Amino acid sequence: MTEIENEKDSILFLPVGISEGHGKHLPAGTDTFQAEYVVEEVCRRLDKPTLIAPTLNYGYCRATRHLSGTLSISFDSLKSVAFDILKSLNDQCFGKIVIVSGHAGSSHMTALKLAAEEVLEKSDIEILLLSDYDYAYELKGEDVPSTDGHGGEIETARLLDIREDLVGKDRPDTEVKYPSFKVMVDYSEYLSDGMRGNARKATKEEGREINEYVIEKIINLVEDTF
């Protein structure tokens, strides 16, 4: 308890993961591994006092809920749990919080954002909320097509760097095109195996470059904000 009391001025990081199917070549804990790795590296390199809260290891999935390995809680449950955690951290007098989610689903991120906004309405703490994929997908371009996505080249490469022992050797190449502007509830027709992109192209070296890019971007963000 004394150690915590002495760390109240630290920047508190909250990793957010999930159990979600990512194709047969990646583990269900892929998003958790990425978020925890990035947060640990950011805290190790930051020239500021930091603490890492226990990972919030559940989230909201819609497009991938039909996949083996996906464990989703409801939107309202995620919002409520995130609010309770952030409020408790605020009650403990932590005034600078960085939420890093390895799962980047839009509804999932919205639930976290609404929870943070509710806490901010009653406190003067500062909260940053992002997914590591806000930065990782900036690297799509000439070498990685814009259609690369869930479980594809970028995500597979990152896992090869972080947990190569958990990446399968049989990596698919799947091109998925969602219909434009169509509102969908069932994505199984378009995301049958849980991935989009050419995982065969992924390399550990590529993953290292992507992870370094993400880590440096978050470090710069935190330094500029706090």
Tally: H helices and E strands in the chain? 7, 6
pLDDT score for 207: 98
- pLDDT value of position 154: 96
What's the CATH number of domain 2-216, 3.40.50.300, 3.30.420.40, 3.40.50.10310, 1.25.40.10? Answer: 3.40.50.10310
3-state secondary structure 117-158: HHHHCCCCCEEEEEECHHHHHHHCCCCCCCCCCCCCHHHHHH
What is the spatial distance between Cα 77 and Cα 112, in angstroms, rounded to a whole number? 11
Tokens in use for 138? 């900036």
pLDDT values of the chain reduced to their tens digit, one per residue, 226 residues: 445 555 668 999 999 999 999 989 999 999 999 999 999 999 999 999 999 999 999 999 988 888 888 999 999 999 999 999 999 999 998 999 999 999 999 999 999 999 999 999 999 999 999 999 999 999 998 789 888 888 999 999 999 999 999 999 988 777 777 778 878 777 777 676 777 889 999 999 999 999 999 999 999 999 999 9
* Dihedral class, residue 78 (left if φ above 0, else alpha if ψ from -120 to 50, else beta): alpha
**Secondary structure element (H or E) that encloses residue 33, with its range:** helix 30-45
What pLDDT score does 146 carry? 87
What does the pLDDT read at residue 1? Answer: 42
| Rounded Cα gap, residues 148 and 165, in angstroms | 23
